[in-house]
Chain A
Amino acid sequence: MSKTVKELEVTVDQLELGMRVVRLDRPWIETDFLMQGFIIQDQSDIDALVRQCDSVYIEAIYETVAKPERREAPKGLFARRRSVPPPVKVAVQPAGSLKKARVARPAAGEKVTYINKINTERELPAARNAYSSAKTVVKNIMEGIRIGRMLDMNQARETVDHIVDSILRSKDALAWLTKIKDKDEYTAEHSLNVCILSATFARHLGHDEKEIREIALCGLLHDVGKSKIPDEILNKEGRFTDEEFDLMRQHTTFGRNLLMSLPNADRIAIDVAHSHHERLDGNGYPRGLQAHQIPYNAKVIALTDSYDAITSSRCYDRARASMEALDIIYKCKGTQFDDELALEFIKCIGIYPPGSVVEFTNGEVGIIVSTDEKNKLRPRVIIVLDADKNPGRERIVDLNKGAVDDNQQQYIIAREIPNGQFGVDIRDYLKKGLVIQGQSKPLG
């Protein structure tokens, strides 16, 4: 299969972001455009073309299948003349517009409903492997870009496939792993966590599998532009100076440029890398887009990105609890975040997500194993400390089934506490695969 680039005439109502306009239906000099040929970057470009033209010529890729090369026909008595047919045209598509991007969450009638195929405990070993290898890939991507290596999109897609496969089997296992934070690996972990949270959120919203993979890829690559920021700024302990802050904000443009330089990057991943810090009220960066100009996937990633940033322990800050992050998202809906998506995200995550360490009103301490879709305030929990904060008999309690303590009092969660408090570290429970004392097999 070979590709040739040709001009294709399209009417202005067919224009999409990412198309490369090479010619107009009138001389450039009769229009406002300063550049003779450009890529449509945002809605204002489309609006300007609609105002001034009826049709334009865009760059289109023609894919052709060439017949296999033939041996030269034998000459002589048995020679037969054969005519070689012309190449077969198989597809015509505008360059950079491989597929229409989704512009809104699935409507009620088109939602896909998923069920967990296996429980959290059984998925955890596979999730742990997927997380570990994905983290290595993300670190290699970031480090590779720093030394001038090209980002391998196929490797990124393969990584996303492993992550999404795990989330489709069980939504909570990888969520556990996002709760473990290593302050020295913030950028790689953050990219991976945003990928996981975005895939989990897309599953919650009812996207089909292909869309979930697309959104997860956007999450994985949203901060790829940070590989162009010097390490000493990225890992700085303390607040950024104004100059450093301005440079940090440029990671969106760096990311867009980096992905655009690749021959096979998804257009929507480019848009998300560029637009995930845009705000609904037009005060975002880098372009100050209006709400309708922000791509849907960028609105999704804005939520998962902010949630993970607030709940992560960066080298110079202390992480906040899930509830505080959700409080901020709730209060900033409509100005920073899409209203409906923000509320759906809060429903998806819940105040006590899997892997959270919680204290009950009776003083006992536990770790959230999994949550019930319909009642996120009543999850399944491993009790790990007694009321005096001493290691006690580990057991699973299901709050949704009205579990009671030794005094026949119903278990009620009082608050989330930081991982590591009272000597409870979720890493220990991940290492042993959620096997509780007295059992040799994972819970299930």
Chain B
Amino acid sequence: MTTDSSTNKRKLVRLLCNASFGDSVLTCSEQSFVAKSINYNHQGICVFTFQRIPEVDTLEIGFSYQQGNEEVVVDKIPCQVVYALFTETGDQFGLRFLWDDIDPAVQERLRRIEALLEKNSDDQDRYGLNHQ
């Protein structure tokens, strides 16, 4: 796996995956692993998993976003692992979607999820604590 050398180049806001954002399913080496979806934009996603996944540079990911009657589902999106942090409580992975290898219709779905997430987020109260 490679480490991230572009942490500071990312200009896109990483939106916190809210309750409407389902867990992610990672597929690599013909195995599937469930991971918590942490934060997201249409270019990539951060996930956290307690399962030990094989050491790979690329993998596929699927997840869904459901809001009211609208459900946006994406599956088998090719990703590059841009950073990996292994801790005793779980492993964190930063994944960049391999945009050029993604079907335009699926690209549109990725943008739609970002738009829905952005609409429901509050950058002054990321965790909704001001309303408690």
Cβ contacts A337-360/B at 8 Å (1 or 0 each): 000000100110001000000000
B38 touching A242 by the CB < 8 A rule? no
Contact of A306 among B8, B89, B132 (CB under 8 A): B89
Q: Which residues of B contact A (CB under 8 A)?
A: 3-4, 7-8, 14, 16-17, 36-39, 46, 48, 50, 52, 55, 83-90, 92, 124, 126-127, 129, 132
Question: Which residues from A are CB-within-8-Å of B85?
Answer: 310, 317-318, 320
B132 touching A239 by the CB < 8 A rule? no
Q: How far is the CA of A302 from the CA of B39 in the complex (A)?
A: 22
A328 touching B48 by the CB < 8 A rule? yes
B16 touching A318 by the CB < 8 A rule? no
Within 8 A of B (CB), among A239-287: 239-240, 242, 245, 248-249, 277, 283
* Residue among B14, B16, B50, B85 with max Cβ neighbours from chain A (10 Å): B85
Question: Which residues from B are CB-within-8-Å of A328?
Answer: 36, 38, 48, 90, 92
Interface size class of A (residues with CB under 8 A): 20 to 34
Name A335's closest neighbour in chain B (CB-CB). Answer: B36
Q: How far is the CA of A377 from the CA of B124 in the complex (A)?
A: 7
Contact of B89 among A240, A326, A336, A347 (CB under 8 A): A336
Question: Which residues from B are CB-within-8-Å of A310?
Answer: 85, 87, 92
Question: Which residues from A are CB-within-8-Å of B17?
Answer: 331
Question: Which residues from B are CB-within-8-Å of A317?
Answer: 3, 84-86
Question: Which residues from A are CB-within-8-Å of B39?
Answer: 324, 327
Known: A324-B46, A327-B16, A331-B36. A240 touches B127 (CB 8 A): no
Name B21's closest neighbour in chain A (CB-CB). Answer: A331
Q: How far is the CB of B106 from chain A (nearest CB, A)?
A: 24
Known: A309-B88, A309-B89, A336-B89. A343 touches B129 (CB 8 A): yes
Q: How far is the CB of A324 from chain B (nearest CB, A)?
A: 7
Assess whether A172 is interfacial by the CB under 8 Å rule: no
Q: How far is the CA of A128 from the CA of B52 in the complex (A)?
A: 38
Q: How far is the CA of A78 from the CA of B127 in the complex (A)?
A: 84
Q: How far is the CB of A311 from chain B (nearest CB, A)?
A: 10
Name B37's closest neighbour in chain A (CB-CB). Answer: A331
Assess whether A332 is interfacial by the CB under 8 Å rule: yes
Q: How far is the CA of A336 from the CA of B92 in the complex (A)?
A: 15
Additional A-B contacts beyond A326-B127, A328-B36, A336-B89 (11; CB < 8 A):
A306-B87, A316-B86, A317-B3, A320-B85, A323-B14, A327-B38, A327-B39, A331-B36, A332-B36, A418-B7, A421-B8
Q: Which residues of A contact B (CB under 8 A)?
A: 239-240, 242, 245, 248-249, 277, 283, 302, 305-306, 309-310, 316-318, 320, 323-324, 326-328, 330-332, 336, 343, 346-347, 351, 377, 417-418, 421
A309 touching B87 by the CB < 8 A rule? yes
Question: Which residues from A are CB-within-8-Å of B83?
Answer: 318
B8 touching A343 by the CB < 8 A rule? no
Query: Mind listing 7 A-B residue pairs with CB under 8 Å?
Result: A239-B86, A277-B88, A305-B89, A323-B126, A328-B36, A343-B129, A418-B8
A318 touching B3 by the CB < 8 A rule? yes
Q: How far is the CA of A318 from the CA of B39 in the complex (A)?
A: 18
Name A376's closest neighbour in chain B (CB-CB). Answer: B129
B48 touching A346 by the CB < 8 A rule? no
Q: How far is the CA of A330 from the CA of B3 in the complex (A)?
A: 24
A249 touching B88 by the CB < 8 A rule? yes
Question: Which residues from A are CB-within-8-Å of B14?
Answer: 323-324, 327
Question: Which residues from B are CB-within-8-Å of A283?
Answer: 50
Q: How far is the CB of B33 from chain A (nearest CB, A)?
A: 14
Smallest CB-CB A-B distances: 8 pairs: A309-B87, A306-B89, A327-B38, A331-B36, A317-B85, A328-B48, A327-B39, A346-B127
B92 touching A242 by the CB < 8 A rule? no
Question: Which residues from A are CB-within-8-Å of B8?
Answer: 417-418, 421
* Residue among B38, B46, B89, B132 with max Cβ neighbours from chain A (10 Å): B89
A331 touching B92 by the CB < 8 A rule? no
* Residue among B7, B55, B83, B87 with max Cβ neighbours from chain A (10 Å): B87
Q: How far is the CB of A246 from chain B (nearest CB, A)?
A: 11
Q: How far is the CA of A393 from the CA of B129 in the complex (A)?
A: 36
Known: A306-B87, A331-B38, A418-B7. A324 touches B129 (CB 8 A): no
Name A240's closest neighbour in chain B (CB-CB). Answer: B86
Question: Which residues from B are CB-within-8-Å of A327?
Answer: 14, 16, 38-39, 46
Q: How far is the CA of A244 from the CA of B87 in the complex (A)?
A: 13
Q: How far is the CB of B45 from chain A (nearest CB, A)?
A: 12
Question: Which residues from A are CB-within-8-Å of B3?
Answer: 317-318
Name B10's closest neighbour in chain A (CB-CB). Answer: A415
